[in-house]
Structure 1
């Protein structure tokens, strides 16, 4: 089974989605399952993981409702304020929804101290006890703090989104590799081959720009802890879906059949319990 392990849906609202700036105006519109499913079918992808793009309980409910309606949505990664004293009550609201598999916050927009707070770590422990995963959304500059963070929750299944957003545009990778390595040493941490085109030069990128990052990710995590994700529709600011897919498909063509199948779907199935 082939799975797109990272994509988003939204009904565009200029206030709620104020992060979509003028340079990203191509995605200033609604993106819903009826827009994505024909693309999945065209490229013989069996399903997707819908990941939060807005920090609200409405967002989690919105994605769950879509997942209930569309069988192609195999899993949902929702949002919760993990540092909230009333977290248990908040989690109870969605506890009966089988497609809700994990949670995420936009850590990339928060100070690094946030993920090291005692109340946040306690929140991670609470979702872990309920069997949920956690997607780590950070920039490469936050990797050192992320290492300290995951050390505090060694039983929690984590996945690093977008290979931690290295500076692909400038071709900077050695420090990124050095800081990713100790995270990859922990077998409970996975990584998504996603969100790469938006860290490159949107207008001038070539496939070669991503080679070293893909090589490093494979070296550090291995195929059984890597998963393909399109980051659709955000990817559209720099590339179409088929271009993003092609980058990972061509890279994995040299691997064994089982290794390629892991990256293109089986890792996501195992991690999210699809």
Structure 2
């Protein structure tokens, strides 16, 4: 069975999603119920909800909304990665509240759509270092050219467990092997970083990609980080931009053909169980 470490639920009736205004294909309802039906058919047994970059004043409302979904009978949701704003002075108080919330397993501040200098601000870096000892992970969502920024954060806070989203967001459609390839190799040298093999179908040509299209990107990520430092995620509904959940899971199984059962288990469930104590 699969643990999906990257589900987004989008519900405009209860939350505001400013960033989705520029992405019409995603700026619509994407309910937990519609995800769960597909997920169960594909063998997903548990999932972590990933924040959807809601309006800053609604971050804790999103956490509460996910909590309501998690307590539904037979819910797949076993935890949440919450949005945060390390650049703000109130981060320390927010961190204290969330580290005491059993639903919250980690934090994320989306960086790939923000100015490069955000993660270099002194307060941002000071607050990232605060995450150490909280029991929470910190997801990094950066572009290939921003991977050195991720390296700097990993070096700054060696006791924080960072999770790199989406294989470092490679431009698969454009076949942009560099600087992604070398930057991933360098980032993987940081033992406090785990890579998430998640939703990369969204970065391939939606009309022509096949499993073999994705293979070099997935295999390089796994070869850099090793089987003990990779987890799997759907990135639903973003993965629908490249064929959808079932297509991504089918491709994943094709890419794992020939690996050992232990290696497959680590990627699809065991590493996530260990990292987030699921």
The question of a shared fold, defined as TM-score above 0.5 by the shorter chain, is answered with: yes
How many residues align? The count is 273
**Given the two structures, how large is their TM-score scaled by the length of structure 1?**
0.92
Identify which of 136, 145, 159 aligns with 1:141. Answer: 145
Structure 2 gap ranges (5+): none
Of residues 93, 96, 106 in structure 1, which corresponds to 2:97?
93
- Shift, 1:38, TM fit: 1.6
Q: Which consecutive unaligned segments of at least 5 residues does structure 1 have?
A: none
Aligned to 1:160: 164
Contact 2:151 2:190 in 1 (8 A): no
Distance 1:157 1:83 in 2: 19
2:2: which partner in 1? 2
Name 2:12's counterpart in structure 1: 12
Q: 2: distance between equivalents of 1:207 and 1:76?
A: 29
Which residue matches 2:68? 65
Q: In the alignment, which residue of structure 2 is the partner of 1:249?
A: 253
Match of 2:51 in 1: 52
Structure 1: distance between partners of 2:206 and 2:16: 24
1:185-219, CA deviations, whole angstroms, 9 ceiling, x for partnerless residues? 12211011112111111222222221110110111
Secondary structure of the equivalent of 1:128?
Answer: coil
Query: Higher mean Cα deviation, 61-70 or 192-201?
Result: 61-70
Q: 1:176 corresponds to which residue?
A: 180
With structure 2 as the length reference, what TM-score do the two structures score? 0.91
Q: What RMSD in Å do the two structures reach over aligned CA positions?
A: 2.0
Aligned-partner SS, 2:86: coil
Q: Secondary structure at the match of 1:12?
A: coil
Whole-angstrom distance in 2 between the partners of 1:228 and 1:153: 24
- Whole-Å Cα distance in 1 between the matches of residues 207 and 77 of structure 2? 31
8 A contact 1:7–1:229 mirrored in 2 = yes
